[in-house]
Chains A and B, each alone.
Chain A
Amino acid sequence: MGMRHVFGASLLSLAVATGGAFAQELQIGNEDWWKEAGAKFDGVTLRGVTESTPPSNFISDVLAPKFEELTGIRVDVETTSWDQMYDKAIKDMEAGTGIYDMIYIEQDIVYAYMARNFLVDLTKALADKPDLKAANYDEANFTTFADNFRGANGELYGVPMEAFIKVYLYRTDLFNDPEVQAAFKEKTGKDLAPATNHADYAEIAQFFTQWGKDKGLDLWGTTAQAHTGHPASWYEFFESVAPTYGVYNWGIDAANNYAASVENGGTMNSPESKEALKWWLSMRDIAPPESVQSTWTEVATTFAAGRAAQGLVYGENAAWIASDESKSKVVGNVGVALPPMQDGILEQVEGGTGYIGYYDGGAFGLPVTSKNQDAALLFLQFMALPEVQEEWAVAAPRITLTSTYDSPKVAELNTELGGYYDMLKDQGYLFKGAPEYPFHAQVREATAPIFYDILTGKIGPDEGLDQMAAKAEEELTSLGYRK
């Protein structure tokens, strides 16, 4: 017990010390302006709520103390679980209690918040109050990911604070191993290289699963985010796999009266969707056994533990898998590539139709119910200063400003991450966040139980997708979107 206390205290000290060190390293331009701007809010405490992730922890551990040091405005940021974060934020805004001055908005829920007018138009607020506008804050500096948080006229409703793409990770040590390469060539007649299409991906996955079995290794050919009771599996299929078969926006056609079924003009149960699901299920079957209990977090730990040769992994995890020796066994052995896709999809996407995978991330927004909106505006701008973003990108790999790509520190990290930042910068446009639906969680939760039944084999993929399409339309009708 004593040792545990010592260990816990050491961790805490390390966390505080690390946060403190970063806070000291942060050099903010025009400090006098910040001091002057903050002086008007003497005694104000800002409260925020966010999901407990490395980027969010950087806000609470580093940015908040530095901002308080500069302006005198205290910032308390609650970092909690994904579900709790939504629960707290939505209840606060729904009831109008005004507890929170800043809330984390994941990209997939921003449209629901905007539809309910929960958020302050930051562009307008800063235009109306020029004395609160920081010189070094520039909306135009945001990457295109910020477009997810803009209204119809380009007005910004959230300051992006994290942005990742879900990429295809593979083990370079295995892919470059001559013995493995020879065995693969002998078995398939092909050279071993990261897959560009589903057939090749499946072949590689089958090869490595068999290789692991033959050699007595804890190694499988692919990861699978295939939890049988958590929406993570639903997301992997609809946001990462189905698009690579040409099924976009969950197969719901918003322009066609929110049709989901083929019968009504949707694609949720289209032949492509069914083919995609069957392919993904076949990959799940040769993935590590923990896959049926894996969300995005467990997929990352599976890959980091060296248990999978390749897989689709969220970028927020790709960074630590590739670089953090305290958590990952595959540091220095991680390659990054675009997800495998059907023939013609890349051309289609480059032509402006659809997307090949998920662009994940979130922003900090200002609820209209906040009682400290002006002070919160200052903090939101502070988060988006180029000098802050550079340190943030190194501490918790994510990029939301175009200028951050030019930082030498970021360039160095990019090499370590196998070119992940290059991909984010140059090919990020091929990826897309969740569709612009105000009913995101509602349709997901209505259809998820059927999806879980498909995963357990209770119903077949064809029949299951038919049921899901019908259920989605039923839910959309009940919510009043589908007429």
Chain B
Amino acid sequence: MQSRKLGWLLLAPTLAVLFLFGVVPFFYVIYVAFHQWNPFAANPEMIFNGADNFRQVVFDAGFLASLGVTMAFVFFAVLTELIIGYLLAQAFMKDFPGKAIFRTIHTLPLIMAPIIVGSIWKLMTTPSIGIIPHLLDSWFGYDLNIGQSAGAAFAITVIMDVWHWTPLVTLTLIAALVSLPPDPFEQAQIDGANKRQIFWHITLPMIAPAVVATVFIRLMDALRTVDEVLMLTGGGPGSATRYVGVHIFKEVFPRTNYGYGSAVSVIVLYLTIVVCWLLYVGMLAPRNTKKG
């Protein structure tokens, strides 16, 4: 009994911090979402407006367009990171000369602040001075201008995200691969299974929990991407890269549309939970059913 009390006592500071900086702001955002509140309106006070903000979100063409490009961004970015991350993880499972150096270099983007990543990619992609447009022009005669081409801007934001976050996927998948027992693989080889069969029927099911956890983390991160994209394209050209995070930022900060911005945040949180749940069901439920 005494140890239980001590346990709660030791947990108390953490719980207090979580409550103050996690729970309170969360409920405050929900509270604000039910109000019309712009401090620079003729009436700067908070005015309760029921579910008006949510109704507005549902019919807001700007938000819906933003949601569409965000989903495309998340799909391409996370899928690419997963594939490249897995391939790199498999490569790092083997020994090769310079492996330690390569692994360290490969991990470096992870420690960079997103705003720095955005700045670096902006420098690299600015027409006339950027290395990427220069090389693309020299090698393929392709004129890259992410201030002009919506497709190019979208692609570069995906590539930037892949460059920044693939190391995280690699590291988590290395951890998963390292922890796999050798027996099933040896037995499969004895039974004559080829590499593809081993991957589909042994490796993938065994690392599925790690894959799902990694996808969840990356999915949630990608859905709230702001800094990198804001620095690189500002959400442009037009609204080609105005992902929901950028959309919320522009509504809440420069436009100070706190009520509406909060409603968008709540909706995006809800959508994130739904997408994660669907993924969980889609990726893990069949496996659990088979077990049952």
For B233, what are the chain A residues with a Cβ–Cβ distance below 8 Å? 228-229
Q: Does A275 contact B (CB under 8 A)?
A: no
Classify the interface of chain A: helix, strand, loop or mixed.
helix
Provide the residues of chain B in CB contact with A86, threshold 8 Å: 253-254
Q: Which of B42, B127, B254 has a CB less than 8 Å from the CB of A83?
A: B254
Flag A444-458 by CB within 8 Å of B: 1 or 0 each: 111001001101101
How far does the Cβ of A380 sit from chain B's closest Cβ, in whole Å?
A: 25
A444 close to B127 (CB less than 8 A): no
CB–CB B236/A116 < 8 A:
no
B130 to chain A, nearest CB (A): 9
- Closest-CB distance, B44 to chain A (whole angstroms): 6
Contact residues in B for A478 (Cβ distance below 8 Å): 41
Majority secondary structure of chain B interface residues (helix, strand, loop or mixed): loop
Cβ A293 vs Cβ B127 within 8 A: yes
Flag if B253 contacts A83 (CB, 8 Å).
Answer: yes
In the assembled complex, which residues on chain A have CB atoms less than 8 Å from the CB atom of B234? 227-230
* A449-B250 Cα distance, complex, nearest whole Å: 11
| In the complex, per-residue mask of A101-114: 1 if CB is within 8 Å of any chain B CB, else 0 | 00000000000100
**A interface footprint on B233-250 (CB within 8 Å = 1, 0 otherwise):** 111111111100000001
**Are A455 and B238 touching (Cβ within 8 A)?**
yes
Known: A227-B234, A456-B236. A442 touches B127 (CB 8 A): no
Q: How far is the CB of B248 from chain A (nearest CB, A)?
A: 12
- What is the number of residues of chain B that contact chain A, defined by CB distance less than 8 Å? 36
Q: Is A217 an interface residue (CB 8 A)?
A: no
Q: Which residue of B lies closest to A440 (CB)?
A: B40
- Which residues of chain B have C-beta atoms less than 8 A from A20's C-beta? none
Q: Beta-carbon contacts of A418-443 to B below 8 Å, as 1s and 0s?
A: 00000000000000000000110110
Min CB–CB distance B197 → chain A (angstroms):
47
Asked if B289 is at the interface (CB within 8 A of a chain A CB), the reply is: no
- B11-19, B140-148, B207-215 - interface stretch: B140-148
A479 at the interface (CB under 8 A from B): yes
| Closest residue on chain B to residue A483 by CB atoms | B42
A264–B254 Cα distance when bound, in Å, is: 27
B40 and A289 within 8 A (CB)? no
Chain B, 116-141, CB within 8 A of any chain A CB: 122, 126-129
Q: Given known contacts A116-B39, A480-B42, is B238 in contact with A449 (CB within 8 Å)?
A: yes
- Chain B's nearest CB lies how many Å from the CB of A297? 11
**Mask for A26-40, Cβ within 8 A of B = 1, else 0?**
000000000000000
Residues of chain A within 8 A (CB-CB) of B253 are: 83, 86-87
Q: B195 → chain A, closest Cβ, in Å?
A: 41
User: Given A289-B127, A449-B62, A438 and B40 touching (CB < 8 A)?
Assistant: yes
Against A, the Cβ 8 Å flags (1 = close, 0 = not) of B143-157 are 101111010000000
Which B residue's beta carbon lies closest to that of A458? B238
Chain A proximity of B55: nearest CB distance (Å): 14
Q: What is the count of residue pairs linking A and B with beta-carbon distances less than 8 angstroms?
A: 108
Could you tell me which residues of chain B, from 61 to 77, have a CB within 8 Å of some CB in chain A?
62
Shortest Cβ distance from residue B258 to the other chain A in the assembled complex, whole angstroms: 10
Contact B42–A452 (Cβ < 8 Å): no
Given contacts A228-B147, A307-B128, contact A480 B238 (CB under 8 A): no
A452 touches B238 (CB 8 A): yes
Q: Report whether B239 and A442 are in contact in the complex, using a CB–CB cutoff of 8 Å.
A: no
Q: Which of A228, A230, A290, A298 has the most CB of B within 10 A?
A: A228
Q: In the complex, what distance in Å separates the CA atom of A438 from the CA atom of B241?
A: 29
CB distance from A475 to the nearest CB of B (A): 9
Chain B proximity mask over A59-71: 1 for CB below 8 Å, otherwise 0 = 0000000000000
Closest to A289 in B: B127
CB <8 Å contact, B62 and A293: no
Chain A minimum-CB-distance residue to B236 = A229
By a CB distance below 8 angstroms, the chain A residues around B236 are 227-230, 452, 456
Contact A293-B150, Cβ < 8 Å, known A452-B236, A453-B239, A456-B238 = no
State the Cβ distance, B67 to closest chain A Cβ, in Å: 15
- Does the CB pair B238–A442 fall under 8 Å? no
A446 / chain B contacts, CB cutoff of 8 Å? 255
User: Could you tell me the distance between the alpha carbons of A408 and B137 in the complex, rounded to whole angstroms?
Assistant: 51
Please, how many angstroms separate the alpha-carbon atoms of A393 and B228 in the complex?
36
A89 within 8 A of B: no
What are the residues of chain B within 8 A of A291 when measuring CB–CB? Answer: 147
Q: Whose C-beta in chain A lies nearest to the C-beta of B41?
A: A479
Of residues B38, B40, B150, B251, which shows the largest number of chain A Cβ atoms within 10 Å of its Cβ? Answer: B40
A-B contact pairs, 5 of them (CB 8 A): A227-B147, A228-B148, A229-B234, A449-B62, A453-B239
In the A-B complex, the 5 residue pairs with the closest CB atoms: A229-B236, A229-B234, A292-B147, A480-B42, A228-B237
